[in-house]
Amino acid sequence: MSNQIRANSVLPARRQDIELHTADGLTLVGELARPEAGEPVATLVCLHPLPTHGGMMDSHIFRKAAWRLPALAGVAVLRFNTRGTSSVRGTSEGEFSAGEAEKYDVAAAIEYAEFLDLPNIWLLGWSFGTDLTLMHGLDPAVAGAILLSPPLRFSSEEHLAAWAADGKPVTALVPEFDDYLRPAEAEARFAAIPQAEVVGVPGAKHLWVGDAETVLDEVVRRVAPGVEVPLPRTWPGEMESGDMNAYADRTVAAFSDVPMPKPGS
């Protein structure tokens, strides 16, 4: 009998706590989830939203990706806390650097995936994580980038030009009712990257609440085109339940009155 996959459903996978070591001497905490059997067909390195506004490796899209995609799509998911960020997994060393020193964090995550010979490495950034992707993610080991709710706040035209020149695929999933950058403006801004694909998602908002399945389908469609989408919404075997209470006070909405850091601050 198949069971409905719910927000807290944890499907089978090989999961291990990991540590990343940055070139400037910090230790970052994270997790790698791989298919229970066989090698992954692709790898997602997840770069989370602003930690000053509740972003972390367990932000719900990334949590659901790690809980579902190894089983449903054969995709490995590497997620971690950038410097100074805390979650249930623990706290990464260092302090938030508004996108500057985080270049070492991005490099450490890509290097870790490369060291393990994980295949077909894609960066999956969300909000602040999309800026980290554009600013610091253009690495030879990276196959491409998927951007969720990109605000284009810390990244610059110079970064867009670098991705344009390199030619790696870039997909921006842009909510219809995003707080920072909506589809029409995103089309204009991402015109600087000729190969960029901007996908407007009707009815969606910056936090993707209620739209996780849509996001995961679109991600898999690009990183693992051989996998049929939409992904199954039920699971025929055993599955566990994650503790949702641990994240109740860590949504971006809970930090809505906290001043946004300025680029370069």
pLDDT in tens, 192-203: 999 999 999 999
Distances (CA, A) of 265 to 99, 107, 229, 257: 9, 21, 42, 18
250 within domain boundaries: no
User: Ramachandran region of residue 85, left (φ > 0), alpha (ψ -120 to 50) or beta?
Assistant: beta
pLDDT in tens, 60-78: 999 999 999 999 999 999 9
Q: What is the CATH number of the domain that holds 19?
A: 3.40.50.1820
pLDDT grade, residue 255 (50/70/90)?
A: very low
pLDDT grade, residue 265 (50/70/90)?
A: low
Sign of the CA dihedral with 163 first, then 222, 212, and 110 last: negative
Query: Which domain covers residue 89, as residue numbers?
Result: 10-227
In whole numbers, what is the pLDDT of the chain averaged over residues?
94
- Which tokens go with 103? 């270049």
pLDDT in tens, 231-246: 999 999 999 999 877 6
Number of domains within the chain: 1
Cα distance between residue 119 and residue 44, in whole Å: 10
232 within domain boundaries: no
Percent of the chain that is helix, strand, coil (3-state, to 5): 30, 25, 45
43 within domain boundaries: yes
Q: What is the pLDDT of residue 254?
A: 46
Q: What is the pLDDT of residue 244?
A: 74
Whether 168 shows a pLDDT value over 50: the answer reads: yes
110 within domain boundaries: yes
Q: What is the mean pLDDT of residues 168-189?
A: 97
Q: What is the pLDDT of residue 264?
A: 60
Distances (CA, A) of 142 to 112, 114, 233: 12, 9, 29
4 within domain boundaries: no
Q: Which of 123, 106, 92 is nearest to 19 (CA)?
A: 92
Pick 59 or 245 by higher pLDDT: 59
259 within domain boundaries: no
114 within domain boundaries: yes
264 within domain boundaries: no
